[in-house]
Amino acid sequence: MSSSQQNGYILEARNLEKSFQRESHADPLEVIKGISLALKPGEIASVIGSSGCGKSTLLHLLGGLDQPDRGEVRWEDKNIFAYDEEELARIRNQQVGFVFQFHHLLPEFTALENVMIPSMIRTSEQKSSEERAFELLKRFGIEDRAEHRPTQLSGGEQQRVSMARALANNPRIILADEPTGNLDEKNTENILDLLFELREKEGVSIIIVTHETSIAKRTDHIYELSQGDLSLLKDGV
């Protein structure tokens, strides 16, 4: 039995390294330096750090949106970078939900249609995708905005649509990149409450990237990313 299976990790990063070449420097910029972390089902972890420290880069590696120079990311003990790009995209669509600071909603589509997109990619069955999408909008209290386009929604409503979209395929893992970065205090609390509610009702594991320590304090584990190194500040449920 492997260590991941024995410890019951749903996500595990092992010795991740990532650098970027700079135009004005001969040496590349080391953004991620041998980082390791692990998450069990139903746990919520946060990664804090200053702007530009590499938090988003780390999240993109954990979600298979970018490839590391070295190291591996394992979902349920399978190294995701062992798959070809098509297979990785398929697995990512089914197992991981992404919530971004700037929502990334498609402006030409309604809220309902935006939420339908992941399940349509997976199944192409419009009726079931539409039913699931409306169910999620209702769960987040914005079913009355189903036919509105993103420009007709407030920032908090757009983020709720983004969260609903992330859940379209019942993922095991949610990766949230500064999910409350553009929201006021009330909407921030509402979005955080919804994320923790997802853990309770869906059993999903969540990693939240944030620069707000007040947000991080609510999570089970707190990591700090600084100068490419990751430190565990809080451990335990």
pLDDT in tens, 201-224: 878 899 999 888 888 888 999 999
Q: What is the pLDDT of residues 31-52, one digit of tens each?
A: 999 999 999 999 999 999 888 7
Rounded to the nearest integer, the mean pLDDT of the chain is 85
Range of the domain at 165: 41-67+82-234
Domain-located, residue 210 = yes
* Contact partners, residue 112, CB within 8 Å, separation at least 6: 130, 133, 134, 137, 146, 147
Indicate the pLDDT class of residue 28, thresholds 50, 70 and 90.
confident
Mean local confidence (pLDDT), 156-177: 86
pLDDT score at 5: 46
The count of residues in the chain is 237
Q: Is residue 25 part of a domain?
A: no
**Can you tell me which residue has the tokens 């386009």?**
149
Task: Give the per-residue pLDDT at 3.
Answer: 44
13: in domain: no
Bridge pairing between strands 70-75 and 173-177: unpaired
CATH number for position 172: 3.40.50.300
Q: Which helix (H) or strand (E) holds 198?
A: helix 185-202
> What is the arithmetic mean of pLDDT over 71-91?
88
Q: Is pLDDT larger for residue 57 or for residue 124?
A: 57
What domain count does the chain have? 1
User: What is the side-by-side strand order in the sheet with 78-79?
Assistant: 29-39, 11-20, 70-75, 78-79
Q: Give CA separation, 17 vs 33, 67, 71, in Å.
A: 5, 9, 6
- pLDDT of 112 over the 90 cut: yes
Let me know if residue 88 belongs to a domain.
yes
